[in-house]
Amino acid sequence: MPVDDTFQVEVEMPGGKRNLVFVLKSQGTLLTGCVEGPFGRYPFRSGNFSRNNCDWVINLKSGGEPVPEQSAGGHRGILKSVGMVISDSLSGPPLGMPYWRRGMRPKKDLKVSFSGRINGDTIFGEMTFGDYAVGTFRGSRVPVSPSPQA
């Protein structure tokens, strides 16, 4: 059964919780879609879907700068703050001025991997931030609004 739907999810990650939207579309075992949030939209094109299990990857470029799809409002990366928190904790003192203000950069890109399961109208799973941290997500399908009657 294909998964072509939108899910509102709550992500629990280092530094707190955040609400995101996953837009997923499957064609056979290929999963495509995007992760959307207050800071932009991050498409992915080579995920996997099989027997209600799904996985996909988004890459953050070094320096905590993701490569988001630009929204009309010119928002910057949904995962930027995650990259900054993780990068800051790895590249200097844990407290004080953020690394990007100190002119420091992480040494490599950060791969954020999503692995989940769809059970009816619910999606849940785990996010892995490179080798540094793990977060979880849980959410539900966005109900389809009925068409207005004329």
The CATH number of residue 83's host domain is 2.40.128.120
Residue 60: inside a domain? yes
Q: Per this entry, what is the length of the chain?
A: 150
Residue 127: inside a domain? yes
- pTM score of the predicted model: 0.69
Taking residue 103's Cβ as centre, other Cβ atoms within 10 Å add up to 6
Residue 148: inside a domain? no
Distance CA 11, CA 148 (A): 33
- Report whether 21 contacts 9 (CB < 8 A): yes
Number of domains in the chain: 1
pLDDT of 111 reads 82
Look over the chain and give the mean of its residue pLDDT values, rounded to a whole number.
75
Residue 38: inside a domain? yes
pLDDT at 114 exceeding the cut of 80 = yes
Structural domain harbouring 47: 5-141
Residue 123: inside a domain? yes
pLDDT at 108 exceeding the cut of 80 = no
pLDDT digit string (tens) for 25-44? 999 999 999 988 776 778 89
Residue 65 pLDDT level (bands cut at 50, 70, 90): very low
Residue 134: inside a domain? yes
Residue 97: inside a domain? yes
Lowest mean pLDDT among 91-95, 97-101, 112-116, 129-133: 91-95
Residue 147: inside a domain? no
pLDDT digit string (tens) for 76-95? 444 455 555 444 444 444 44
pLDDT at 51 exceeding the cut of 90 = yes
